[in-house]
Amino acid sequence: MKILSRYILKESIGPFLFGFSIITLVLVMDFLVDIMNLIISRGVKPLLVLELFGLNLAWMLALSVPMAVLVAALMVFGRMASDNEITASRSCGVSFLRLMIPMLGASFILTLAMIWFNDRVLPESNHKARMLLTDITRKKPTWSLEENIFLDHFEGYSIRVRTIARKTSEIEDIIVIQTKNAERIITAKRGKMYFGPDGSTLMLELEEGEILEVGAENEQAFTRTDFAKQTISIPNAASEFQRTTESSRGDREMNVSMMMARNRERYEKAADYLSKTDSTTRAAVAGLFPGNESLADKIPDPRIRAINKVLTESRKIQAKQTFNARTAGNYFREINSMKVEIHKKFSIPTACIAFVLMGAPLGSIARKGGFTAGIAVAIFFFIIYWAFLILGEQLADKGYLPAVWAMWLPNIVVGGSGILLAIAFVRQSAVISFIDSVKSLFTRRKQT
C-alpha cells in the first residue's frame, strides 16, 4: 500500500506544478495590465514595479493552490482510469476510496499550510502592497480607501465606501459620519474623491444623497436635507494619509486576531449609539411635563399645547433614533463584513480537500488525463466555486445569509457533489464488473 501511495503522490507532483504555473500565469497577465498602466502613465521605477508585483503574488498564490489541486486530481485519476490502473487496483482488493487517501492526505497538509499563509503572510503582503501603491498614486486618494470599511483616521470624520473605481477615483454608496462641529450622517449614491489645489485638502463631491444632522448644543434638534450635489472639504488630509498609512488596515490586510479585535471595537461603538437612543428617549419623555410646573398656569389650552408638544417631541425622538440606528447599523454591517473575511481565510484553503473529492471521481469517469482537458475542467469548476463564493459574500454583506453559510456553502456543494460522484463511480464500476462476470460465465458454458 505504501508503494501505491507513493506512486499516486509522485504522479500528482507534475500536474500540480503545471496547473499552478498556468493558473498563476493567467492571474499575472491580468495584473500586468495595471502594472503597465503605472509604468506608462507615472514613470514608476522598475524596482518599485518589481516589488509591487512580488507583494501581489501572495493573493495569486492563495487562489492558484486550490485550483492546482483540482487540476492534479483530475489529471492523475483520469490517466489512471484510461490506463485501467483503477480497475487493476480494484481487482487486487484496493477500493477507490483507498486510492483517494494519499491525495486527500496531501490536500489536508496543503489546507493547514494555506490557512497559516492566508492568516499570516497574505494580510501583510496586501497591506504592504497597498501602502506602496498609495505612495505611487498618492494623487488618487481612493487608493487609500478599502471597500466596506470605515476609514476613521481623519479628525472628526469617518468614511465608508461600497465600491471604488481606482483608475477614475469614482466612488459609490458613500457614508460620511461627521462629528467635528455637529453630528451628521451624509449618504450619497455616487461621487468623486480628489485633492484640492493646495495638495492637502481632500475633496468629496457627492451626488444624490441626504444629510441627517443633530445639533451640537441641542441633541433634540434634528434636520434631514436631500441634495443633488454636495461638496465636503477635509483639511490636512494629505498629511493624515501619509502619517497613518502604516496603522490603517482594511479587512483583507488583517489576520484573524486583528479582525476579532476590530469587531469588538465596532460592537462597543454600535452599543454606544444604541444606548444613546435609549437615554435620548427617556430624557425626552421625562421632559415633556416637568414635575413642579403646571401647564394650566402658562397656556390657555393645556390639552392642545400638551398634545402638540408630545407630537413635536415624538418626531424629535424618532429622528434621533433613526440617526443612532443608522450609525449602529453601519457598524454592524462592517462587523458582518469582518466575519465574512474571517471565514474566508479558512474556507478557501479547505477547498483543496473539496476539489480532491470532486476531481478524483470526475477524472475517473471522464477517463481523460490530458493537460488541456484537466486545465479546462478545473477552470470551469473553479468558476462555479468562485461564483458561489462571491454570491454568498454579497448575500452575507447585505444580511440575507449568515457569514458561516455564505463562505462554507461552496465547499459543501463541491465536496458533496464529489462524494456523490465517487459513489456513482463505484456503483457503476461494480455493475460493469458484474455484467462482465456474467458474460464470461455464459461464454464458458457455450464453449463447454
pLDDT digits 0-9 by tens, 91-150: 888 888 889 999 999 999 999 999 999 999 999 998 888 878 766 655 445 545 667 777
Query: Does pLDDT of 159 surpass 60?
Result: yes
Q: 304-355, pLDDT tens digit by residue?
A: 555 555 556 566 666 667 777 777 777 887 888 888 999 999 999 999 999 9
Q: 382-400, pLDDT tens digit by residue?
A: 888 888 888 888 888 777 8
Helical (H) or strand (E) element with 174: strand 170-178
Q: How many residues does the chain have?
A: 448
d(CA 191, CA 430): 64
d(CA 370, CA 76): 9
pTM above 0.75, yes or no: no
Q: Using only the alpha carbons of the chain, give its radius of gyration.
A: 30
Confidence (pLDDT) at 289: 40
Are 147 and 162 in contact by the 8 Å Cβ rule? The answer is yes
Phi, psi of 318, rounded to the nearest 5 degrees: -65, -40
Within 10 A of 1 (CB to CB), how many other CB atoms are there?
Answer: 9
Query: Does pLDDT of 295 surpass 50?
Result: no
Confidence (pLDDT) at 286: 47
Query: Does pLDDT of 366 surpass 80?
Result: no
Which three cell numbers mark 19? 496547473
d(CA 200, CA 202): 6
Instruction: Sketch the domain layout of the chain as residue ranges.
Output: 2-137+340-447, 150-249, 256-339
Residue 285's pLDDT band, with cuts at 50, 70 and 90, is very low
The percent of residues in the chain predicted with pLDDT above 70, rounded, is 70
The b-or-e profile of 418-448 (16+ CB within 10 A means b, else e) is beebbeebbeebeeeeeeeeeeeeeeeeeee
Determine the Cα angle at 31 with ends 54 and 152, to 5°.
Answer: 75
Within 10 A of 316 (CB to CB), how many other CB atoms are there?
Answer: 18
Which three cell numbers mark 58? 501572495
Confidence (pLDDT) at 290: 44
Are 263 and 335 in contact by the 8 Å Cβ rule? The answer is yes
Confidence (pLDDT) at 38: 64
What's at 426, amino acid-wise?
V
First to last CA, the chain: 39
